[in-house]
Amino acid sequence: MQQLDRGRAWAVLTGATLMLFVLFGIAYSYGQFLTPMAHAFGVGTGAASVLFSLTSLLFFCLGVVTAPLAERFGLRVVFGAGALVFALGLFATAPWQAYAGYGLGVGLGIGAMYVPVIGALGRWFARYRSVATGIAFCGIGLGTVAGPPLIALLVAESGWRTAFRICAVVAIVALLLILLLLAPPPEPAATVRGRGRANGFGRLYVSALLLNCALYVPYVHLSPAAMRLGLSPVRAAVLVSVIGATSIAGRLLLGLASARLRTMTLYLGCYGCVALSLPIWASAQGYPQLLVFAAVFGFGYGGYIALTPVVLAELYGARELPNRLGLIYTAVGIGASLGPAATGFLVQATGSYPFAGYLLTASAAGGLVLAFGLRVEQGQGGDPGLVHRAAPSGDRGDHRGALHQGE
């Protein structure tokens, strides 16, 4: 019988962290490909942004399908198929290949790996779930730190087509190694149930949709926007790396803090950081303001991503985590596809980023208001499943034992 929070669980955590580093280090470097691809294909920023929107729509929304597939056919089978499709998707030399390869290949590949692995990871841990998810999602932050500058240099030296191919080779080697670290989790007890209500999930879903309309725009448009202010491509790419670095701090600190503080209080803080940072970007006139934006935005983004699986596991139980995570990520996918594309077309129409930035602020603020509504319900004796407190020492064993296979 496999034990939670120990042994193989930490190997799976290592694999999940490396997976997120590789996948999102490449995917979130799309801003470095955007300008040269737009020039090569003779299209505007709006049309080039659609490619990332298609990719993000697939890799977030597909989890609602791939999570059940991983349950039926096995985590490694679905992951291996996704790794192959991801690598093949990076071989693009013409516009139709970029849309079919990067848009569909990378999107389908990440969609086959992301939610199944994170859902399995959440079921490998009970007592240290928030810490484990915080560590795993640091892989996204580290990938965002390393990816954009390195890929910007590759594009500058070798062109975007060669850079795509190098990324494909690196990805397939790394993902094969990760495959060896993964393992299906122990089956949670059938009696474990969450305490969330249907309307609580619906409110979380809509608030996530509104927030994510803004959340992924900087990965596509921050570097091009910075270059419009006169920054070099590599210096502009560093801003995306700053988001990655501060997201690591957000994931680790808030993941640890969630063991003692109310999860929704921390969740609201993350929403607030994102909403407050966007006007800074919209009004930025130089590099210092852009650095402040990247730091505040990255901290809020990192904490939000790390806390999402923890909130869902508390609401609906470990057994339901993969499916609920797949559902909530459809909201993430829709928002992540709408935001970058809409921003690209707005910039193309207006010739500047500030107007789009203020619209993104309104969207994130709307998500914050909806999420705050959940917090108000708690204060009035609402759904207790949305509040997480550290379990007393005497309760730890009961909670952990109930999640062990066969207990």
* Tens-digit pLDDT profile for residues 231-265: 888 788 888 888 888 988 888 787 677 667 777 78
Q: How much is the pTM?
A: 0.72
Of 52, 62, 78, the residue nearest 340 (C-alpha): 52
Neighbours of 84 (CB within 10 A): 16
- At residue 291 the predicted structure's pLDDT band, cuts being 50, 70 and 90, is very high
Pairwise CA distance, residues 64 & 85, whole Å: 18
Residue 64 in any domain: the answer is yes
pLDDT the model gives residue 78: 95
- Taking the C-alpha atoms of residue 109 and residue 22, their distance in angstroms, rounded to an integer, is 12
Q: Is the pLDDT of residue 44 over 70?
A: no
Q: What is the CATH number of the domain that holds 27?
A: 1.20.1250.20
User: Is 407 inside a domain boundary?
Assistant: no
Residue 390 pLDDT more than 50?
no
Q: What is the pLDDT of residue 4?
A: 80
Asked if residue 240 is part of any domain, the answer here is yes
If you search the block for the tokens 């190997």, which residue do you land on? 11
Nearest 5°: the CA angle 280, 297, 16 is: 165
Where is average pLDDT lowest: 97-106, 143-152, 214-223, 267-276? 97-106
Cα gap 229→289, rounded to integer Å = 12
The tokens of 351 are what?
């010739």
- Residue 274, pLDDT score: 93
pLDDT, tens digit, for every residue of 301-351?
A: 988 888 888 878 777 777 888 888 889 989 988 988 888 888 888 888 887
Question: What are the tokens at 272?
Answer: 């607030």
**Residue 8's Cα: distance from chain center in Å?**
24
Q: How many domains does the chain have?
A: 1
Q: How confident is the model at residue 365 (pLDDT cuts 50, 70, 90)?
A: very high
Is 150 inside any structural domain? yes
Contact 214, 270 (CB under 8 A): no
Per-residue pLDDT, 179: 93
CA-closest candidate to residue 45, choices 53, 333, 137: 53
pLDDT of residue 313: 79
State in Å, rounded, how far the first CA of the chain is from the last one: 11
| Burial environment of residue 164 by CB neighbours within 10 A (0 to 12, 13 to 18, 19 or more) | buried
193-237: per-residue pLDDT in tens? 444 444 578 888 999 999 999 998 988 888 888 888 888 887 888
Q: How many percent of the chain have pLDDT more than 70?
A: 84
Please check the confidence at residue 375 and state whether its pLDDT lies above 70: no
Tell the burial category of 10 from Cβ atoms under 10 Å away from its Cβ (0-12, 13-18, 19+): middle
* Percentage of the chain lying above the pLDDT 90 cut: 25
Contact 25, 143 (CB under 8 A): yes
User: How many Å separate Cα 267 from the centre of its chain?
Assistant: 15
Above 50 in pLDDT, residue 383?
A: no
Q: Which domain holds residue 65?
A: 8-391
| SS3 per-residue string spanning the chain | CCCCCCCHHHHHHHHHHHHHHHHHHHHCCHHHHHHHHHHHHCCCHHHHHHHHHHHHHHHHHCHHHHHHHHHHHCHHHHHHHHHHHHHHCCCCCCHHHHHHHHHHHHHHHHHHHHHHHHHHHHHHCCCCHHHHHHHHHHHHHHHHHHHHHHHHHHHHHHCHHHHHHHHHHHHHHHHHHHHHHCCCCCCCCCCCCCCCCHHHHHHHHHHHHHHHHHHCHHHHHHHHHHHHCCCCHHHHHHHHHHHHHHHHHHHHHHHHHCCCCCHHHHHHHHHHHHHHHHHHHHCCCCHHHHHHHHHHHHHHHHHHHHHHHHHHHHHHCCCCHHHHHHHHHHHHHHHHHHHHHHHHHHHHHHCCCHHHHHHHHHHHHHHHHHHHHHHHHHHCCCCHHHCCCCCCHHHHHHHHHHCCCCC
Specify if 398 maps to a domain.
no
Q: What is the mean pLDDT of the chain?
A: 80
Evaluate whether residue 20 is within a structural domain: yes
**How many beta carbons lie within 10 A of that of residue 294, not counting itself?**
26
Exposure pattern of 371-405 as b/e (b: 16+ CB <10 Å)?
beebbebbeeebbebbbbeeeeeeeeeeebeebbe
CA neighbor of 71 nearest in space, from 184, 194, 181: 184
Contacts of 303 (CB under 8 A, 6+ apart): 250, 251, 253, 254, 255, 266, 267, 269, 270, 273
In a domain, 228, yes or no: yes
> Which tokens sit at 46?
């709006």
| 344 within a domain of the structure (yes/no) | yes
Query: For residue 47, what pLDDT is reported?
Result: 67
